[in-house]
Amino acid sequence: NVHWFLQQYPEFSPGDIRDRICPELRESVVEKGCIQLLPGVHKSDGFFIARLVRNHGGNQEL
């Protein structure tokens, strides 16, 4: 899970995901850097997506 990963690897933090998704899905952002898509709500399978950014060594994403 994302919270565990961030506790274990403090060099990462959640990155803003809102500017990287279409406007119709922005209400699906469940917390900073995370989006959850649900069958029956969205016309897709279920997905959980997290954007993580490395805090040092440049703006590297995982």
User: In this structure, what is the dihedral angle of CA atoms 60, 62, 15, 17, given to the nearest 10 degrees?
Assistant: 120
Q: Give the model's pLDDT for residue 54.
A: 94
Q: What is the pTM of this model?
A: 0.73
Written as six digits, the tokens of 52 are: 């993580």
pLDDT at position 27: 86
- Within 13 Å, how many C-alpha atoms sit on residue 52's CB side? 16
| Region of 16 on the Ramachandran plot (φ > 0 left; ψ -120 to 50 alpha; else beta) | beta
Q: What is the pLDDT of residues 12-48, one digit of tens each?
A: 999 999 888 988 888 888 888 899 999 998 889 999 9
User: Taking the CB of residue 55, how many other CB atoms lie within 10 A of it?
Assistant: 13
What pLDDT score does 61 carry? 58
pLDDT for the residue numbered 24: 86
pLDDT digits (tens, 9 = 90+) for 47-60: 999 999 999 765 55
